[in-house]
Structure formats: C-alpha cells, structure tokens
Amino acid sequence: MDKSKGFDWRSAISKHTILIVLIAMVIVLAFLDRNFLTFINIKNIIVLESSRGIMTLGMCIVMISMGIDLSVSSVAALASVVSSSLVQELTYSGRILHGVGPFPAWVALIAGLVVGAIIGAINGWIIGYIKLPPFIATLGMTTIALGIAYTYTNASPVSSLSNDFKALSQTEIGPIPVTAVYIVCLGTLTWVLLKKTKFGKYVYAIGSNENAASVAGVAIKRTKVLIYTYCGILAAFAGILMAGRAGAGNATLAKGYELDAISASAIGGVSMTGGVGTLGGVIVGILLLGVLNNGMLLLGISPYFQQIIKGLIILIAVTFDTRKNSKNN
C-alpha cells in the first residue's frame, strides 16, 4: 500500500502522544470517580492549577532558549509577601504586622510584578552578560530570593489582606473563575510573542544554535535578559494570585512549583536541549499535570506517593525527548 495515499496513523500518534494520554487519563478517572467530570471539580482544577500554568508559560520560553529557571518558586513567594504587605489591613490589635499598607490592590499588584521583573532581569543579565550557566545562576537566585522573603516577613505569614486584593484571584465572571481568564490571556500573549514577533524568532534561534544565532545578528545578551524578565514577571503574578487565593502571602507558598513548571513544559514537548516546543503542547502538558494532581487527590493517593509518580513522569518525558532528538539527528 502506498503510504502517500493513506493516513499515516503512526506519525499522527507520535505527534499527538501527550494529547492521547490526556484524553485516556480523563476517561479512566471519569470511570474511577463519578465526581471527576462535575463542573465543580473542573472549576477546582482550573483554580488550583492556574498559578502553575502561568508559571509554566514563562518557563517554556526559557527552556526553548535552552535555559532553565529554578528561581520561579522563590520569585513567586517573594512577590506574594511583598504585595501582601502592601494590602494588609489593621489586625485585631489595631496595628499592621508587616509593611506600611493598606494600599489599593493595583499598587500591590504592580509592586509584586516589579519584584519579579527585577529578579528575572538580574538572572538574564548574569546568564547573558557574565555567561554563568542558567542552572547555577538561577539556583543561586533561588536562595537569595527565598532569604529575602524570610527576612522581610520574619518567617511568618502576611495575613489580614484587603478584600480588593483577594478579589484579584477569587472573583468569578459568571460561572468562570477569573484565573481562567488570566491564563487564557497570558497564553495568547505568550503565543503571539513566540510566533508573531522577532523576539520569538530569536528565542528559537538561541535555543537551536546560539553561535549561529549570534552570527546571524541576534542580540543574544539582550534577548536573554528579556526572556528571564518575562519568566520572572509571570512567576511573580502566579505568586500574587496564590496569596490572594490563600488570603496570605508566605515565603513557602510556591515550594516545589519550579519542578511542576519544568515537568509540564517537558511533557508538553519542549526539548530540554532547546530550540523545540510549541505553546499548544505546553498547554496540554499543564492540563495533564492538573488532571493527574486532581485525580490522585480524588482517589486518595498518599501525597508522598504522588511525588514518586510525578518524578517518574519527568523521567519518562525527558527520556522520550532525548530518544526522539537522537533519532532526528
């Protein structure tokens, strides 16, 4: 049979493996627990996974450029306590525990995003201009940002937040959580940046071959600063939303989220060696991890065993990516 005249099922399955796994997972969980496909549970998945999803959008651009950002969880935590301290209302004792608030919610939002932008820009500057490896640079920044967050709060939660600030993440537009609107808008923005701008072309060029990109006239150093700045802003926004949803900023708020962001990106097809990845695949990776997290909770799987499952998924995704790249080469 002439394959050119028929549908290439093998190629289609290979191309959409993660989507097929997601659909299969949804079907299995729907049979195992009748509450899985209820509107309330679907809304819970959106709300709980929105912060991870937003963080992943920034991480995927970093990984496409053949980088890594281990500081996103610490950036989120620092942004959460800084923004929370600006909207903290008077406590029962008539005083404010942290900061000098309360300010309007938009002031706290901007302050948190500025924190993320500054740390991201520093990461990009160290990686682009000083040429420190991304793993080392962002690992060091993780410790620094977390230390600042603990020092700023004296290791205590920043609570008693204004209702306007909490509304940033707790509001619903009809039956739809506002966090779903955020991730759709930011996902669209990220897609436009990657596919419709010179910046996006530079990101892929740097990830594919940095030396060739430099010869072609790509501003490597400046682009890396922009890449990590964008990632820092999204991480900060994720932390602000988490603080609003929890009703308090905390230095431990996003602990471990950097691994989830890396996992979702890798599962979604972003190559660990750079230059490869699509936003559509990343969205599927975000949904797959969200469904997996929710399903394990509904089935009563131990939180410790959940970590083992997530670790195995990361190993499988990276192994699959490595083998696929070796075949292509």
Amino acid letter, 235: A
How many Cβ atoms sit within 10 Å of the Cβ of residue 237? 25
Count up the domains in the chain and report the number: 1
Say whether pLDDT at 92 is over 50. Answer: no
Q: 169 is in which domain, residue-wise?
A: 37-318
At residue 13 the predicted structure's pLDDT band, cuts being 50, 70 and 90, is low
> What pLDDT does 7 receive?
61
Quick one: tokens of 167?
Answer: 């509304």
8 part of a folded domain: no
Tell me the average pLDDT across 77-106. 75
Percent of the chain residues past pLDDT 70, beyond the cut? 88
Instruction: Determine the Cα–Cα distance for residues 221 and 97; give it in Å rounded to an integer.
Output: 41
219 part of a folded domain: yes
* pLDDT tens sequence across 233-255: 999 999 999 999 999 999 988 88
328 part of a folded domain: no
At residue 14 the predicted structure's pLDDT band, cuts being 50, 70 and 90, is low
From residue 113, give the alpha-carbon distance in Å to each of 45, 82, 117, 239: 25, 10, 6, 10
pTM reported for the whole predicted model: 0.89
Instruction: Determine the Cα–Cα distance for residues 329 and 322; give it in Å rounded to an integer.
Output: 11
Amino acid letter, 179: T
120 part of a folded domain: yes
15 part of a folded domain: no
143 part of a folded domain: yes
HSE of 136, CA atoms in CB hemisphere, 13 A: 7
How many Cβ atoms sit within 10 Å of the Cβ of residue 291? 19
> What pLDDT does 191 receive?
95
* Paired residues of 177 in beta bridges: 172
47 part of a folded domain: yes
Instruction: Determine the Cα–Cα distance for residues 41 and 276; give it in Å rounded to an integer.
Output: 33
Considering only 93-102, 108-117, 239-248, 271-280, which range has the smallest mean pLDDT?
93-102
